Amino acid sequence: MTSEMIGFRDVSLAYPGGVRALDGVSASIEKGAFVALVGGSGSGKTSLLKTINRLIEPTSGEVVFDGAPVAAQDAPVLRRRVGYVFQGLGLFPHMSVAENICVTPDLLDWSKVDMAARVSELLTLVDLPQEVASRAPSALSGGQRQRVALARALAARPPVMLMDEPFGALDPVTRDGLMRACRALHDALGLTTIMVTHDMQEALLSADRILVLAHGRLVADGTPAEFLRDDAAPEVAALIDVPRRQSARIQDLMRGQGPVAHG
């Protein structure tokens, strides 16, 4: 077995009033994996992601990061070792793009020279022109802001990237481009990546492994290939049905057949 980067051991999260956002989730994620966390709204996928860098503390169970329980690690120090792309991006509006990117290196007391070099390197990496460095985030387009958020998460060379619906608000073309850029960065930098998404197609196309959550429980765990097999579990089959039918129709269309109802 390859070495574990992140481990969930019977993780539960209950809110006062008895609502269980997470219910006994256990999983082990090895180094170098690209994992998609899939589920509908309220399934607990974002909560599970946030237990990794202690933005949320589970009410019971244990989360292990790089061999040590996160509860035993100083939260700010832990978070500086984890890249995080927020759903709402959370770029700092009062800082320039360069300052946004270097916020974690600055917390780690990098030198000014190292930080300037890193900004330049990251802008190239996420395919942004160098001149945006001095601009305010508000002066960028939506896609450019996503790239800045990605660059900020990568800045301190974290071994782990957590992404919460990172490209949700973008048009399909930009979204596809960024997704592929992300995957390429993951491979090139040898990261361990966990991405939360509600889009099964995105998960199938980019991840090595897919975890499906429903009502706070882990209901399926497998590779895209396993998910697409005909003998997949019924919960999985339901999730896979939509992308499978859509792709079959597109293939039919490409072969020159007219629109036909599929049953």
In degrees and rounded to multiples of 5, residue 244 shows phi and psi of -65, -45
Q: Which one of the spans 26-34, 79-87, 139-147, 196-204 is the region binding another protein (CB under 8 A)?
A: 79-87
Residue closest to 98 by CA, chosen among 125, 147, 136, 146: 136
181/198 Cα distance (integer angstroms): 19
In degrees and rounded to multiples of 5, residue 21 shows phi and psi of -75, -35
Specify whether the CB–CB gap between 216 and 23 falls below 8 A. Answer: yes
The reply on whether position 118 binds another protein by CB under 8 A is no
Q: How far is the CB of 254 from another protein (least distance, A)?
A: 41
Q: How far is the CB of 61 from another protein (least distance, A)?
A: 21
> Which residue of 20, 31, 80, 217 would you call a contact of another protein, by CB under 8 A?
80
The reply on whether position 76 binds another protein by CB under 8 A is yes
Considering only residues 145 through 164, tell me which ones interact with another protein, judged by CB under 8 A. 152
Q: How far is the CB of 96 from another protein (least distance, A)?
A: 9
10/90 Cα distance (integer angstroms): 30
Q: To 5 degrees, how large is the angle CA 90–CA 152–CA 163? A: 65
Q: How far is the CB of 86 from another protein (least distance, A)?
A: 5
Q: x/- binding map, residues 164-203, to another protein, per CB under 8 A?
A: ----------------------------------------
Residue closest to 34 by CA, chosen among 230, 218, 197, 235: 197
The reply on whether position 91 binds another protein by CB under 8 A is yes
Q: What is the SS3 assignment for 32?
A: coil
Q: How far is the CB of 13 from another protein (least distance, A)?
A: 17
Residue closest to 152 by CA, chosen among 88, 66, 90, 78: 90
Residue type, 138: S
Q: Which one of the spans 22-30, 58-66, 100-108, 175-183 is the region binding another protein (CB under 8 A)?
A: 100-108
Q: How many residues bind another protein (CB under 8 A)?
A: 21
Q: Would you say 36 or 103 has its CB closer to another protein?
A: 103
Binding site for another protein (CB under 8 A): 53, 55, 76-80, 84, 86-94, 103-104, 107, 152
